[in-house]
Structure 1
């Protein structure tokens, strides 16, 4: 019995091998994309997490304006005994040979944190040696002498003896900002700690044991890290007055030593000591804490993983639903075609469960092969393809891929549902019928007049073949709806894929071409008098590349509403509303013009959404100096990157109750080359009045780099969607032919030529394809909107953008696939055995 069923099963597979392969391919692609894309995001975070742990990356990096001592370290360890605390130095310097801004960092081979990974060469063995950022290998060949003029180094000329990567900089290109040069760091250098000529260490590195149990990109880690950061700052703030007294005592000792060296009498009373202290200007001790998420490239990497996760929650699911629909239909139609065989077996006395075994085995075989291949390729090959491209951007050389139970179980369950359940559904229905009923073919649907026939002027002008086509379309509505939905779904997937390609890069394009109309900003040092500010203004006026300037007040502020997370925003205050319009376009998300007034602040749309406020509400801001004040929301402006608050200078002065300096110039410039930007930056910094110069071209470049990182995932979507479209069209056409083989043989007997027989079927397909493509455009647009809503975050909003080329390519690809299927169909129809088909029911 088993042998007979096995032979029968093999015969069925051989006789309809195309259908067998098509079912496997559809399941394979559905599982592949679902499991594969669902794996990419977790694999990305898992890879980074493992690298950060093996490198013992620090959780916090704290800098102090007056440096740290061993007592500061002990204060942390006393309150947090399980912490690892290291002290070191980080100083931005200009390397004069190549004029590059480099972060010079102290190297200690015994340090327990932030282990460097050696790419070539060896670590420095003395103060004359250094290792450099591996990204600067071409610029600084092995053995190059780096020249610095800083008095903070004992040996200002050091030799490159190796290239390294650092867990602090996971992005190969992004190095962060600095207060020297053009404001952008070009790389980093490590030289022995003994080479630094600094009285107190500038940086404290902290790694907490209690954070090791959390994945570094998870919300739990972020929450626990924020709590730990607050505790660290409380400890250090408690140390602040003690540190000030230590500095005073040191300064007092130094002052007395200078007096003694000059041969002057050294005072010994406390009163005179106080007089000496008043003559010494001591810097105020301030602490700046950076969490791991503040490191260059870290947030972008996390954002990349989150975007892929968000896309994976929508795109593959819709893809899989189409695959399930087509698989379900194919399996049910296959069993319906075998009604005669089922009836024969029932008539011979076979039990229902014995008859069902063959079809359930067929379903299980296709589901098992398709699912297994889909899981293997999806979990291993697809993420590897993505990672091979991302290696160019991130320092991770060993990407970790894994099998994730959740997506695999969902995909397996769906594949079994689409095959086994569909087989059971039809078998239960058919096996209830009598053998005599099953042995007879199902009566074809009765022909009837269609609505188009009532439109006589059109109907009378149609040819006989066209009339047959329209009657068949309305006669077999279920088949037509299925075909249209299949084509529309696949076209929609391709449209959404092209839309993702266009929309991911749209925030930067719209932000910097339509909304932010200035090209650079110049931040002035605090406490500048009018004469010095005028000198900067004159420099800008004399610069040939600068077309116009606008002085504004700009600063970073934080906001926190009840029930929301803390947000950081750029506050910008202008004293000329009309002129400000030429530098920043303020408009509502509905494209209505806005203008600054003294009625309140205009805030960006994502900030309003995150804080859950609307026009008329009040927001509370906190400055870096700790001052709090409130602003009324007068409007909400369109914005795609970051959080911004725009306000009139007079209104801000009134709300803060203090003088607000115009500390920034916004620049509108001509198109500038990188060399011209560097030259202007250097001129401004050399004036001594400018703290930082920021050209937006660097932000645009960074955004484009981020966009490129997600491009491979989008390309995979498009390719697989196109492949699915082809398989779906082929499978639906096969179903159509197998269902109508007797009908097609009949018209061949009636004298229809081969081309006419082909067009008899293909003409319907052309109509369904046209309707499916148009419907697919709408489905693709809706699908893209849903995906982008998931992918958008607090700091970035993705507008729905689909260029006309996306629609055209999707339509053309679908049409080409339809033509290929039509050609294949033509050859299949030529080989229909007319007599055998007509006698099939005998």
Structure 2
């Protein structure tokens, strides 16, 4: 046994070993650092982003539900909710939408409640208004109009009718705010004013808006406080709450109708009395009496025409950006399930190779220590301490860097899209524990496996070098025609490659793994970027969607085609249907019935995704989108169950499945629609195609159409496309992280494997230097092997990357979105060029090392 004094000397030996092989120690530490940083950082990103949103919603008291009515809301409605205040908190809101004539922007002027019980504004600059002449603006207003600042003058300038809604129209700007209702940075929802979409909001004191009719009531149910948004529990409680809210307010529709009829009858009374009085004084056919009687008849018809108002119920999922933000966090979560594990697996593979090489190098030292009386535990502890230190330091640094960098960087990439405060990083101890366990397994575990044979060997066996691996005849040598045409150097290169099969396998797998991750990163960029390009440029060939309350009138048709901007339009019925099937989340799809359906191809391209073969709508079935078909596991020839609002479920036959990337659609011919639904379609929508137009011209066209009776909304596809591209640009930044991280790992992997290759063959390389090889020739001796292994790794990585890309797409897609599964050829080229560049860089570093090799020391005999 060895005494305590020797133990202290042994620890000095271990520290000396770490210092003498600091490049190898650093490479193990760096690989573990990269693997752990990527794993823990990406794994924490999704939860960090979700937590930031959850905290924000709770702090700003975001409403869980909202109620509106087609005839406005009254205090009678609030009294009903007041009876249930033990279950909820509510806040009545008044607002008026105006189209600013000076810049064609549509603005919602909202009353700021004296006490903000719900949807509390977050002040970005300045303060909230205290007086009637003060106003705060949505922060989006300053992005659209950079000249607006705290202290500047703001003026409401719209039509005379809309201006009349306000007691004053000139204000002093005292601040800029964000509302939790609008999480998305640019989208502020829809309106029936102007172009149909809101640009931003402004907030004024209550006395500024004249109308006392409540526009909306926001509600927050107390049973949802503390429940994490987006979870199954939240959705279940929200469904129950919405149903309860509808039951409470259902009687109000009839009461509101009766109240409006009573008010109208009261106004009718003087007219009725005047008619009766005049009838008793003049003959029946008198012109004045006839006029009064016709006025009375029209007034009675108006009273009779007062119908029950429709109460509209919405929840958080209808808020712009609320659901989209969650979907983006889920995409990051989906990526974090596979990508980091793949990343850390490559790190583990390289650690295995490095630790194996270390054990091989220190055979002589192990034999000496065993001969001196050290136990197997003491001898093996050097490797345990060496690997354990690298694992612990690498893990600690990796966690600190990864958890603090990746979530912040990715969240900042999304920051341009959302009005959310900065995230607070959190350490997810389970993931950190898994990362540490994998790091220790990579070092200690592999060392134990490799040491198992050597520690059971006798000291005499360990003190002798391991016998060189015997050479074997290659299969390639049997191909005499080729083999005899190879140069001597090329023959040596091929023999060395196949002589060390473990090194060949490890190098090819390591490079293939890094190559696969880079291809996946570039491929994700392609798949995400192709969504907008293919959907808006290749599949959709219309510039606006005009929605009406019913069939097209002559006036609407004339307004639609008026002006130089208009080129063509297609009339169709567009209604929302739900698709239901057990085991699959309910989906909403747009049911389109074009008239005539043969003209649809001029506005919407229906085609098979792979062959691009055109699809035509027939009278025996419907065409559905590919994502919908995937979700429900159906194909052409199958049936699908759908439900139109107010009707029972219907089974439709699928005649074809068409390429599509955004949302869901079902197209039918009018004949097939009548057969399924037993009614004629109501053509309530137009797809409109423009000639070349500016944004200003498009907005003016939308403004003019919205002034037509019966036109409910005009959606400009340029706005939709811009929003879509903005979201995808943010995703590109996330993808960039994956590419850079994979590239960094590829560099470290190549360096480590090349360093091991050079270290274990240092005697061989010294021998050929002694034989007269120049430095460049010695480097090429190694580089030829590395280049072949790199190329093999690149080829294998292409196939592996293709599989990994497809797998990640499958997990990252949301229900309403389909990524393009195609990887552009350039992405393979970029990944291959990067890998080759890293290989050249590493060989440049190795060339400097080989030039400094001391040949005499390397060739000293160990016998």
Partner of 2:834: 813
Could you tell me how far 1:248 is from its partner in structure 2? 2.9
Could you tell me how far 1:840 is from its partner in structure 2? 4.6
Could you tell me how far 1:27 is from its partner in structure 2? 0.4
Partner of 1:802: 823
* Aligned with residue 57 of structure 1, among 41, 62, 73: 62
Partner of 1:519: 543
**1:532 equivalenced with 2:555 (yes/no):** yes
Could you say what secondary structure the match of 1:67 adopts?
A: coil
* Aligned with residue 302 of structure 1, among 306, 315, 326: 326
Kept after mapping to 2: 8 A contact 1:145/1:157: yes
* Aligned with residue 676 of structure 1, among 697, 701, 704: 697
Partner of 2:623: 602
Kept after mapping to 2: 8 A contact 1:182/1:693: yes
* Aligned with residue 740 of structure 1, among 761, 773, 779: 761
Kept after mapping to 1: 8 A contact 2:806/2:821: yes
Map 1:446-595 → 2, pairs under 5 A: 446-526=470-550, 529=553, 531-536=554-559, 539-540=560-561, 542-591=562-611, 592-595=613-616
Could you say what secondary structure the match of 1:409 adopts?
A: helix
Distance in 1 between residues matched to 2:111 and 2:13, nearest whole Å: 75
**1:25 equivalenced with 2:45 (yes/no):** no
Change in Cα spacing, 1:257 to 1:345, as seen in structure 2 (3 Å) is farther
Kept after mapping to 1: 8 A contact 2:153/2:170: no
Partner of 1:760: 781
List per-residue Cα deviations over 1:419-449 (Å, max 9, x = no partner). Answer: 1111111222210111111111111111121
Partner of 1:235: 248
Change in Cα spacing, 1:279 to 1:670, as seen in structure 2 (3 Å) is closer
List per-residue Cα deviations over 1:130-163 (Å, max 9, x = no partner). Answer: 2211121225442222234427733251413322
Kept after mapping to 2: 8 A contact 1:641/1:797: yes
Partner of 2:361: 337
Could you tell me how far 1:792 is from its partner in structure 2? 0.8
Map 1:276-295 → 2, pairs under 5 A: 279-295=303-319
**1:117 equivalenced with 2:122 (yes/no):** yes
Map 1:629-668 → 2, pairs under 5 A: 629-668=650-689
**1:83 equivalenced with 2:88 (yes/no):** yes
More displaced, 114-123 or 338-347? 114-123
Change in Cα spacing, 1:179 to 1:53, as seen in structure 2 (3 Å) is same
Partner of 1:165: 178
* Aligned with residue 361 of structure 1, among 363, 385, 392: 385
Could you say what secondary structure the match of 1:521 adopts?
A: strand
Map 1:50-449 → 2, pairs under 5 A: 50-78=55-83, 81-137=86-142, 138=146, 140-141=148-149, 142-148=152-158, 149=160, 150=162, 153-159=165-171, 160-256=173-269, 279-449=303-473
Change in Cα spacing, 1:640 to 1:80, as seen in structure 2 (3 Å) is farther
Could you tell me how far 1:657 is from its partner in structure 2? 2.7
Could you tell me how far 1:550 is from its partner in structure 2? 1.5
Partner of 1:268: none
Distance in 1 between residues matched to 2:257 and 2:637, nearest whole Å: 45
List per-residue Cα deviations over 1:312-364 (Å, max 9, x = no partner). Answer: 11111111110111012111211121011001111111111111112111111
Structure 2: which 5+ residue stretches go unaligned?
1-5, 279-295
List per-residue Cα deviations over 1:463-508 (Å, max 9, x = no partner). Answer: 1111111111111111111111111111111111111111112222
Distance in 2 between residues matched to 1:235 and 1:249, nearest whole Å: 23
List per-residue Cα deviations over 1:720-756 (Å, max 9, x = no partner). Answer: 1111111111100111111112222222233333222
Distance in 2 between residues matched to 1:106 and 1:763, nearest whole Å: 75
Distance in 1 between residues matched to 2:276 and 2:44, nearest whole Å: 75
Could you tell me how far 1:713 is from its partner in structure 2? 1.8
Could you say what secondary structure the match of 1:313 adopts?
A: helix
Could you tell me how far 1:798 is from its partner in structure 2? 0.7
Partner of 2:14: 9
Change in Cα spacing, 1:835 to 1:680, as seen in structure 2 (3 Å) is same
Change in Cα spacing, 1:289 to 1:669, as seen in structure 2 (3 Å) is same
Kept after mapping to 2: 8 A contact 1:494/1:810: yes
Kept after mapping to 1: 8 A contact 2:156/2:163: no
Change in Cα spacing, 1:511 to 1:446, as seen in structure 2 (3 Å) is same
List per-residue Cα deviations over 1:579-617 (Å, max 9, x = no partner). Answer: 212221222344343211111221112223334444444
Kept after mapping to 2: 8 A contact 1:130/1:158: no
Distance in 2 between residues matched to 1:575 and 1:204, nearest whole Å: 40
Change in Cα spacing, 1:564 to 1:773, as seen in structure 2 (3 Å) is closer
TM-score normalised by the chain length of structure 1: 0.94
Could you say what secondary structure the match of 2:541 adopts?
A: coil
Distance in 1 between residues matched to 2:313 and 2:46, nearest whole Å: 29
List per-residue Cα deviations over 1:36-69 (Å, max 9, x = no partner). Answer: 1111111111111111111011011221112223
Kept after mapping to 1: 8 A contact 2:91/2:217: yes
Could you say what secondary structure the match of 1:319 adopts?
A: helix
Partner of 1:269: none
Distance in 1 between residues matched to 2:491 and 2:132, nearest whole Å: 91
More displaced, 226-235 or 361-370? 226-235
Could you tell me how far 1:77 is from its partner in structure 2? 4.9
Distance in 2 between residues matched to 1:93 and 1:108, nearest whole Å: 20
Change in Cα spacing, 1:431 to 1:69, as seen in structure 2 (3 Å) is same
Distance in 1 between residues matched to 2:639 and 2:83, nearest whole Å: 42
Kept after mapping to 2: 8 A contact 1:505/1:703: no
Distance in 1 between residues matched to 2:26 and 2:274, nearest whole Å: 94
Change in Cα spacing, 1:278 to 1:344, as seen in structure 2 (3 Å) is same
Distance in 2 between residues matched to 1:152 and 1:562, nearest whole Å: 53
Kept after mapping to 2: 8 A contact 1:65/1:284: no
Distance in 1 between residues matched to 2:442 and 2:22, nearest whole Å: 19
Change in Cα spacing, 1:815 to 1:329, as seen in structure 2 (3 Å) is same
Could you tell me how far 1:370 is from its partner in structure 2? 0.5
More displaced, 628-637 or 763-772? 628-637
Distance in 2 between residues matched to 1:278 and 1:692, nearest whole Å: 26
Kept after mapping to 1: 8 A contact 2:376/2:455: yes
Distance in 1 between residues matched to 2:819 and 2:702, nearest whole Å: 32
Could you tell me how far 1:277 is from its partner in structure 2? 8.4
Distance in 2 between residues matched to 1:74 and 1:119, nearest whole Å: 35
TM-score normalised by the chain length of structure 2: 0.92
